[in-house]
Amino acid sequence: MKVAICGAGIAGLTLAQRLSALGAEVVLLERSPTPRSQDCMIDFFGPGYEAAEAIGVLPAIQEISYHVGTASLFDQDGRRQAPLPYERMVTALDGRLCRVTRTDLEKVLRDNLPRDVQLRFGTQVSQVSSGDDRVLVTLDDGEQLEADFLVGADGIHSIVRSLVFGAESQFLRYLGFHFAAFVCDAHDLTDASGQHYVLTDAVDRQVSLHALRDGRTAVLAVFRAADPEMPGDSRAVLRDVFGGIGWSVPDVLDRCPPAADIHFEPVAQVEMTCWHKDRVVLLGDACSAVSQLTGQGPSMAVAGAYVLADQLRRTSSVQRAFAFYERLWRPVIEAKQEAGRDTVDWLLPGSPSKLWIRRMALRLAWLPMVSRRINVRLVGEPPAVIAMLRNGSPADPADPRSA
């Protein structure tokens, strides 16, 4: 069986390893000429953590993970306003959480690829023609690839989705925020607070700083914006929106890298009525982005790839496997997306009173009942799908209890 996967991100890399291990001939097509360097910190837990354990990459992920210790929110005058009960969240998950950078996670997955996976950087899909039993993929240099099926794992702005399912505007649900992730040299700023992970505490916008091992700092900046249209000059916008915050933020803005090194995009989810068509299936953010604010996109990408590969292993018909994958995985995604929308106001309070309520809740987080409520809001209940597939239970996707 020959498989073409478009996108060597977290979902594409995971799926390539799984399908190659099942004996498929895998071609992995990546638009970027080299591994992408734009970075951010993510919390890797939940279904993706379980899937990584099942695949055998968890020890390598644990090795690259960061210990957070104490984390805090600071106001614009540099006063510590509330603790972030990060360790309690880790404890609530029985320690099954790794804080990692996106690029380190991608590297672990890339290093885990079997040698016979063809990973082709600097290659884009420009046309797709799918029939009942084959798919013909045309690349940007005119080369044509024939495969048993094509997987669109090319992220939130998927080209495969546009070519096969229609315009992006039909599928993106804008959540009302813009999001910037970049890495800069700002270690002294976190050191000054005595913590590796610090966040601002302001209405409608937030900057978080996480010190990296190599002496740099991963910065996430999120702010409310009514218009999903992205402004031209990301650095100017960041200076405009965050300039007034004070504390260490002006220093961070001064050290902001050139626009090309800033990952700047609208915060959005992807909602589709169907994730597959003929011999094409979508995976990860391409069909089911849960939003950058949840921090769970990478976990969902690894777990989704695990579910899809598992269904292809169990089912001889490719199209039935696609349908089973979607029936099993869609309820988990929809629950995460709903929770993601519900927690937006908690993560970015929209008024001084909401900000005050969050401060109070975080200050009381040492109380087990408050801590539990915060954890349930942020982490959610773990779905059973991965554990069920790992145990080899005869997954019956028709049974809604499977999710």
Ligand X SMILES: Cc1cc2nc3c(=O)[nH]c(=O)nc-3n(C[C@H](O)[C@H](O)[C@H](O)COP(=O)(O)OP(=O)(O)OC[C@H]3O[C@@H](n4cnc5c(N)ncnc54)[C@H](O)[C@@H]3O)c2cc1C
Residues that bind ligand X (CB under 6 A): 6-12, 29-32, 36, 38-40, 42, 102, 124-125, 153-155, 159, 181, 220, 263, 284-286, 289, 292, 294-298, 301
Q: Which is nearer to ligand X, 42 or 55 (CB)?
A: 42
Neighbours of 388 (CB within 10 A): 18
Cβ-Cβ contacts under 8 Å for 232 (sequence gap 6 or more): none
Please calculate the CA angle 193-196-198 and round it to the nearest 5 degrees. 65
Structure tokens at 162: 């546009």
Q: Cβ 38 to ligand X, closest distance in Å?
A: 4
Q: Cβ 209 to ligand X, closest distance in Å?
A: 13
Alpha helices in 315-365 (DSSP H): 318-347, 352-363
Q: Which is nearer to ligand X, 10 or 323 (CB)?
A: 10
Q: Which is nearer to ligand X, 36 or 187 (CB)?
A: 36
Q: Cβ 394 to ligand X, closest distance in Å?
A: 28
Is residue 197 a contact partner of residue 86, using CB atoms and an 8 Å limit?
yes
Separation of CA 121 from chain center: 21
Q: Which is nearer to ligand X, 78 or 231 (CB)?
A: 231
Q: Which is nearer to ligand X, 41 or 202 (CB)?
A: 41
β-pairing, 149-152 with 2-6? parallel
Q: Cβ 367 to ligand X, closest distance in Å?
A: 28
Q: Which is nearer to ligand X, 97 or 159 (CB)?
A: 159
Q: Cβ 403 to ligand X, closest distance in Å?
A: 20
Q: Cβ 188 to ligand X, closest distance in Å?
A: 23
Query: How many CA atoms lie within 13 Å of 32's alpha carbon, on the beta-carbon side?
Result: 10
- Give Cα separations from 386 to 80, 286, 289 (angstroms): 40, 20, 19
Q: Cβ 36 to ligand X, closest distance in Å?
A: 6
- Which of 333, 296, 378, 383 has the alpha carbon at shortest distance from 102? 296
What's 398's DSSP letter?
T
Q: Which is nearer to ligand X, 298 or 380 (CB)?
A: 298
Is residue 75 a contact partner of residue 31, using CB atoms and an 8 Å limit?
no
